[in-house]
Structure 1
């Protein structure tokens, strides 16, 4: 069995995905690299094909949640590692998540941003934290982090996720915790492409907030 399946959902990431995938390839583990191209209209698919073991191409943009699901169905590894496509060279920091997972220090290992680093807008983070706490009694420091690894035994509890798009990490954390998983958050140097308070950044956070609130109403 492959040791680790790395699932990378990607939408219009032609500028950074090559750097991300090369960094993942440098990790000293037996892994299969699966990219899910979520309906990109740029060169994401062709670039990903140069580095990935498999590229799943969704015909239209379905959202991060659906892209991850497609990757989960394909992954054959004992562990599932989810990484965002815009991490660039910092994706190599995933080794800090992998080691404690292999040592069974927790069931789910999640990357959190080091103190002093930008981690998005506070409102969305607080709403996600509040929802997770409301459902499970656990307060997470990085409720929106897409960088996480878990043993495939936990896959059944995140099948048929409600959150098609940006609420997926919050829902996954809730489902893991409700199933009895222990989540360990670890500081890493992994960094997204910064959007700051640009229109694009604001729109991204608005969509995250809407998806979290939508999931809150559904459950």
Structure 2
């Protein structure tokens, strides 16, 4: 079984190296593909230095486009989607791979431990959870998690990968409606917390909009 780790990255030069090195330490991983989605920093250089194969976009097209490029270049039977900023916690992807390798799931979603930082008011997560339940009759606790793994065959039922933060929500709905088994897996991972400052509010505003668009697209197709 070949496992491809796919990492979309935008201006993650100071974080992506440790993430790649940790993922490379996982025995099951066969290849790591980073898509530098138009970064203005040294993301590409640091990714290559850490041992990843790098695809570079000339400008920032968004997360969905980055994942499309990575999927097209991958060769694995199992695909692992990983954010660039999880650092040494990337070794936890073995917990996502194992249930698929054992035939217990077709898609796994990482469920992070509760954060000590108050990062938001739950609006985006609440919208995502309700949307997934109403459109796919599936209850999930971590609807926004970008850390997930899936069998390549699941790609056959996925619709368009949203360009922004709605990509995971759309992916979950499509896989569930396609009859694939989805399992949430507790992991000891951490990534960037935006907090409740102005950057955090702006980030969550974009998230809310992107999730709403992904839900509206799938509502129109129901």
Is residue 150 of structure 1 aligned with residue 136 of structure 2? Answer: no
User: Unaligned stretches of 5+ in structure 1?
Assistant: none
Aligned partners of 1:14 and 1:44 also within 8 Å: yes
Q: Tell me what 1:74 maps to.
A: 73
After TM superposition, the structure 1 stretch with the greater mean CA deviation from structure 2, 139-148 or 43-52, is: 43-52
Partners of 2:204 and 2:114 lie apart in 1 by: 20
Q: Tell me what 1:138 maps to.
A: 138
Report the secondary structure of 1:100's partner residue: helix
- Compute the displacement of 1:216 (Å): 2.5
Report the secondary structure of 2:183's partner residue: strand
When the two structures are superposed, what TM-score results if normalisation uses the length of structure 1? 0.94
Count of residue correspondences: 217
- Provide the aligned C-alpha RMSD in A: 1.6
Partners of 2:30 and 2:73 lie apart in 1 by: 13
Q: Tell me what 1:125 maps to.
A: 125
List aligned pairs for 1:12-161, cutoff 5 A.
12-115=11-114, 120-121=119-120, 122-158=122-158, 160-161=160-161
Which string of whole-angstrom CA distances, capped at 9 and with x for unpartnered residues, describes residues 23-61 of structure 1?
Answer: 111111241000010110001011111124420101111
User: Unaligned stretches of 5+ in structure 2?
Assistant: none
Aligned partners of 2:19 and 2:84 also within 8 Å: yes
Partners of 2:176 and 2:82 lie apart in 1 by: 20
Partners of 2:191 and 2:205 lie apart in 1 by: 17
Aligned partners of 2:170 and 2:215 also within 8 Å: no
When the two structures are superposed, what TM-score results if normalisation uses the length of structure 2? 0.93
Q: Tell me what 1:206 maps to.
A: 205
Which string of whole-angstrom CA distances, capped at 9 and with x for unpartnered residues, describes residues 168-191 of structure 1?
Answer: 000000010010011100110111
Which string of whole-angstrom CA distances, capped at 9 and with x for unpartnered residues, describes residues 41-94 of structure 1?
Answer: 001011111124420101111111111111111110010000000001111111
Report the secondary structure of 1:171's partner residue: helix
Partners of 2:84 and 2:40 lie apart in 1 by: 15
After TM superposition, the structure 1 stretch with the greater mean CA deviation from structure 2, 175-184 or 193-202, is: 193-202
Aligned partners of 1:62 and 1:165 also within 8 Å: no
- Compute the displacement of 1:215 (Å): 2.1
Over 3 Å counting, the alpha-carbon distance change for 1:148 and 1:117 in structure 2 is farther
Over 3 Å counting, the alpha-carbon distance change for 1:127 and 1:118 in structure 2 is farther
Over 3 Å counting, the alpha-carbon distance change for 1:119 and 1:130 in structure 2 is farther
Aligned partners of 1:35 and 1:52 also within 8 Å: no
